[in-house]
Structure 1
Amino acid sequence: MVKARVAQRPARRQDRAARPRIRATAWCVCAVVTALLTGVPAASAGQGAADLIVNVTHRARALHPGEIVVLNVRTAEAPAALGATAFGAELRFFPAGPANVWAALVGIDLEVEPGEHVVAVRATAVDGSLAGTDYTLAVEPKQFATRRLRVEPRYVDPPPEVVERILRERDQQAALFPVSTAVRYWRGGFLRPVPGRANSAFGRRSVFNGQPRSPHSGADFLSGTGTPIAAPNDGVVVLATDLYFSGNVVIIDHGWGLYSYFAHLSAIDVAEGDRVRKGMVVGKVGATGRVTGPHLHWTVRLNNARVDPLSLLELFPPGGGR
């Protein structure tokens, strides 16, 4: 496993004259940049340190807010360390097939501004020399539909006695997702948690009882009450409780900043701290919390970015390797 060791670096617009951008369609390698990374000798490195030639590519359904991007880096030799930063988050790389090809996951948050965003890639050679290149992701705008729902009034205008609870639960969840666990639990493809049909509600602007609320940050799977919910991949349960708006929830930390959040469950079958395996039942579908009927709400967070679970399923389908 290649360790990520790179300082945070804010994204900036790329100089078009110095670095031309190449566009292509979704589901192909959308851009390729081959850069000569000039080794900067460390204090202990000799003058004979070899340069690293890095080829950077990516694949994604599309470069829109709410999408996951797989960043691939090819090095001339196995580096001592490889890392990158994107959208303010540090990326971790894992081997991705052929020798000296590494991959990392990038999350484009639901409300990222369209435009050019820089991924700063940095590598350390075995002789201590340093190398780096900037790679641009051109995020395109996306229009999300609006959904209008009727729910119980207490979920739109909560009574005063539950406000403190709501704030406490909000802070509890906000503290979880920025944590990027150093262990990568997930491997290979991701499973659909339930067999029911998934609608495309991710990102829709929500209006409850005529009042605008936060965008819908997950995918809803239509399934009957009591349907078993399978862990989409390995991980550790970091929250298993009842929340005011989300009802019964299970949150799984898959490692390296990737989380699954299941809401509105009728039953919770795991406890905080449990190690779960891909396919293990973690709960049952229900209609608890702010809902209009039984279904499974699945949210995915990647380095705190709100991303579409269907993006994860398409990039890493069941049976996939790595």
Structure 2
Amino acid sequence: MTHTDISMVRRRLIGAATVWGLTAPWWAHAAPPAGTFIERTLHHPVPGGVAVLDLGTAATMPVANFNGQRVLVIQDADRHWKAIVGLDLKTRPGQHSLVVQGQPAVGFRVGSKRYREQRITLKNKSHVNPDPQQQARFEREYEEQMQAYASFREEGPSNVVFEKPVPGRLTSPFGLRRFFNGEERNPHSGLDFAAPTGTAVKVPADGIVTIVADYFFNGKTVFVDHGQGLITMFCHLSTFDVRVGDRVSRGDVVARSGATGRATGPHLHWNVSLNNARVDPAIFIGAFQA
């Protein structure tokens, strides 16, 4: 094994050991501190990004909130609590505060980021301007998804650094201003990967399946709750491999990619949500572009 390979293994083991109160390997003190690993990987405080904030070494896990939403808190190998805060695309650049029960607020700064545009032509005109019945269906489905995104389980995630859910190349990044048949719609809330129909979609962390459904825009869709407000969503699927309520482990196949819903061809759309804020999944797989 080369020196580079050993270093890579060490970095992955440190990250795995620190994401939820686990003890770091014996050699961790000779490497960069575990907290630094998490911050270096996830700390990108821009709209659509993530802020990693130190909450000290309290004996019990602090309870923290941002914009009225409970946030994910993990403990590193040095017993420092870290808040992993999702910042949605509407977050204004500038100074912000994290509210922590029984402690002073933690201030942090959000920078700016400019996202590109994407223009798509759809043959199915109802996927641009749905009729009243389709609109009513969309609204029901939207509410169901919003409830899933807003859920918070006390159990923490198994890991917060992910592998890609499919092996394909990235085709559409997060945050694109999207125009369908010339009409502007919501920005792109996830990542798109090239994935031929039937490609296995693997879950990036342990969790509980909360939605298995066929939606008007998203097509066949799976939601997985990983704990403490960390939610992942996979859509435009062809088939399902799980049911609501199933417990899944990191690397399990939850579905197969497809082209259902508002899609121009086979691919996987993948969302990551923290404290009910859709954030750039590229951050979690080390592919974030500043």
Name which of 288, 291, 296 aligns with 2:263.
291
Q: Which residue of 1 aligns with 2:183?
A: 211
Question: What TM-score comes out, normalization by structure 2 length?
Answer: 0.80
Q: Which residue of 1 aligns with 2:86?
A: 107
Say which one has the larger Rg.
1
Distance 1:96-1:147 versus aligned 2 partners, 3 A rule: same
Number of residue pairs matched?
252
C-alpha RMSD over aligned residues: 2.2
Equivalent residues in 2 for 1:168-247 (5 A)? Answer: 168-187=140-159, 189-247=161-219
In 2, Cα distance between the equivalents of 1:121 and 1:248?
Answer: 38
Name which of 85, 94, 118 aligns with 2:74.
94
Shift of 1:154: 1.5
Higher strand share: 1
Q: Which residue of 2 aligns with 1:118?
A: 97
Name which of 36, 48, 55 aligns with 1:66.
48
Distance 1:95-1:161 versus aligned 2 partners, 3 A rule: closer
Gaps of 5+ in 2: 1-19, 22-34
Contact 1:65/1:111 (<8 A) preserved: yes
Distance 1:184-1:205 versus aligned 2 partners, 3 A rule: same
Name which of 83, 106, 110 aligns with 2:63.
83
Name which of 225, 239, 243 aligns with 1:271.
243
In 2, Cα distance between the equivalents of 1:96 and 1:203?
Answer: 30
In 1, Cα distance between the equivalents of 2:66 and 2:212?
Answer: 30
Shift of 1:312: 1.8
Query: Percent same amino acid at aligned positions?
Result: 39
Higher helix share: 2
Q: Secondary structure at the match of 1:171?
A: helix
Gaps of 5+ in 1: 3-27, 30-56, 124-131, 316-322
Amino acid at match of 1:280: D
In 2, Cα distance between the equivalents of 1:188 and 1:113?
Answer: 25
Contact 1:87/1:117 (<8 A) preserved: no
In 1, Cα distance between the equivalents of 2:254 and 2:72?
Answer: 27
1:117-155 per-residue CA deviation (whole Å, 9 max, x = no partner) reads 0123445xxxxxxxx233222111221111100112120
Q: Which residue of 1 aligns with 2:27?
A: none
Equivalent residues in 2 for 1:125-164 (5 A)? Answer: 132-151=103-122, 152-164=124-136
Higher mean C-alpha deviation, range 189-198 or range 252-261:
189-198
Contact 1:221/1:296 (<8 A) preserved: yes
Shift of 1:58: 5.4
Contact 1:249/1:265 (<8 A) preserved: yes
In 1, Cα distance between the equivalents of 2:263 and 2:279?
Answer: 21
